[in-house]
Amino acid sequence: MEALIKNIKADGKLLAAILDCSSESLFKSLINKAAIIKEKYCGNVVYLRGLIEYSNICRKNCYYCGIRRDNKTIVRYTVKEDEIINTAKIAYEKKYGSIVIQSGERNDKEFIKTIDRIIRKIKQVSNGKLGITLSVGEQSYDVYKMWYESGAHRFLLRIESSDEDLYKKIHPNDEVHSFINRLKALENLKKADYQTGTGVMIGLPFQTSEHLAKDLLFMKDFDIDMCGMGPYLEHHKTPLWEYRHLLKPQKERLNLTLKMVALLRILMKDINIAATTAMQTIEPEGRIKAIQAGANVLMPNITPAQYRDNYFLYENKPKTFEAPEDHLPHLGKKLKTVNHTIYYGTWGDSKHFFRKNGQ
């Protein structure tokens, strides 16, 4: 078994075998190997991004997501412009260094203009010093470029699954949910000079280890700069709820996610990998475990309190404002116990991005 992880390389069969293997000692060795690589290439530091869930209005209808268009049981919201600017200002003052603006997907003119204005204003109130990552879905190249020129410099767009057949099983089969368009959007982000991040959900119904191995190879081939991946969590107001009997127990999905993080760190030594909220939903220590498995980015939720309850992608998502586990001194202490420190007040860019661009 241990032989499997001696020489980990971009080989689908090998990666799938590692993901499939239930040996505890293999699990531990894999995590250790990733931890050593991370320390060497990234250091034991954690970058922060204050996560602002800007709006739960979405034009899409993904089968797994609690804020999909057809879920009429949730209250839709958009954070007011002055509130988001103010939240960003607080993040800057608290030395987060960077924020992520995340939102359901819209591509109407008003949305595009508002995001542009928000980016410019945040740059103004932080003297250009707060880093801005966007996670607001598929847009045209021109829109991506405009936002880049206004000051956003990193973008996360999860491929969700790199296998076209699986992608089609978890999305409606129409123009709005086209796999090809999603790939094109990722290409356009690169072309528009963003540090580009993607990711997948882990433990989806119908998903096999071969699919996940393919996801890792996709990320390597695409030469991503950043990754955010997390366990799939079922939501009762979504079409995939019907297939919940096919799911692995949540704890297993978390462990599989940790293996994915470790494998990706081994395959892509200097990219940024986020320890995502969904991991913490399964287990309070989920994100810390991800940091130990090779992740180097944490995204504490800083969405203004009154909106929190409605960004409900999956069940049991932590909802309170400044949840104690997201309180920075608390996080700092927790990280110290696993030999990591928070790097305050920095953008925390992907080293990989600069290396591949010869800088």
- The DSSP result for 143-201, as a single string, is HHHHHHHHT--EEE---B-S-HHHHHHSS-SSGGG-HHHHHHHHHHHHHTT-EEEE-BE
By the rule CB under 6 A, 171 interacts with ligand 5AD: no
Sites of contact with ligand SF4 (CB under 6 A): 58, 60, 62, 65, 67-68, 104-105, 137
Beta carbon nearer to ligand SF4, 145 or 237:
237
Q: Site for ligand 5AD (CB under 6 A): how many residues?
A: 12
Backbone region of residue 93 per phi and psi (left: phi > 0; alpha: psi in -120 to 50; beta: other values): alpha
Among 121, 154, 235, 317, binds ligand 5AD (CB under 6 A): 235
3 state DSSP class of 48: strand
Give the three-state DSSP class for 310. helix
Q: Which residue has the tokens 């103004």?
A: 124
Binding at 230: pick from ligand 5AD, ligand SF4, none (beta carbon under 5-8 Å per type): ligand 5AD
The option from ligand SF4, ligand 5AD, none interacting with 314 (CB < 5 to 8 A, set by class) reads ligand 5AD
The amino acid at 94:
K
Alpha carbon 10 to chain centroid, angstroms: 22
In eight-state DSSP terms, residue 301 is B
Contact 260, 213 (CB under 8 A): no
CB of 138 to ligand SF4, least distance (A): 8
Q: Does 158 bind ligand 5AD (CB under 6 A)?
A: yes
Residue 291 binds which entry of ligand SF4, ligand 5AD, none, CB below 5-8 Å type-dependent? none
Find the distance separating the first CA and the last CA of the chain, reported in whole Å.
39
User: Does 148 engage in binding with ligand 5AD (CB under 6 A)?
Assistant: no
Q: Report the partner that residue 97 touches, choosing among ligand SF4, ligand 5AD, none (CB closer than 5 to 8 A by kind).
A: none
311 binds ligand 5AD (CB under 6 A): no
Applying CB under 6 A, the residues found at the interface with ligand 5AD are: 64-65, 158, 160, 201, 230, 232-233, 235, 278, 313-314
